[in-house]
Amino acid sequence: MRWEDPDFTVRVAATDDLLRIQHENVTNGWDRRWSSDAALLRQVESVAGVFLCPMLRNGGPEAEPESYRCWAWFVLGTDESTRGVTLLDVSRAVFETLPELESPTELRRVIKATMARVMLGSRFEDMW
């Protein structure tokens, strides 16, 4: 285990990043994505960043592009006070271009927000 490995990072995706991920997922035929661009834009609050936390690696360079299956934590576009969480496939190439949360303060903030939402009942969202 190497701590500099992207497997152990938290990244932040903006709406444009999510659309790029969505289009790549459609091209690759990956399952964990939104049903359409419109569904993504309707479901995810556009101002808030989406935190991507890798859960496991998919594929590899020989069979298909390597990707991560990530927990995606976000503010629901339909209700600003509600957080959603879902699984999203993100290619390693795109994942590594996203800004990384590096400071202990930022990481603590994400952990606190995530734990608070787990305790308060974040909704696991279908990507409708």
- State the Rg of the chain over Cα: 14
Please report the sign of the dihedral spanned by the C-alpha atoms of residue 41, residue 123, residue 79, residue 110: negative
The share of the chain scoring above pLDDT 70, in percent, equals 74
The pTM assigned to this predicted structure is 0.79
Higher-pLDDT residue of 78 and 15 is 15
Structural domain including 12 reads 6-124
Closest to 114 in 3D by CA, of 42, 50, 46, 69: 50
Mean per-residue pLDDT for 51-79?
Answer: 80
Domain count along the chain: 1
1 lies in a domain?
no
17 lies in a domain?
yes
90 lies in a domain?
yes
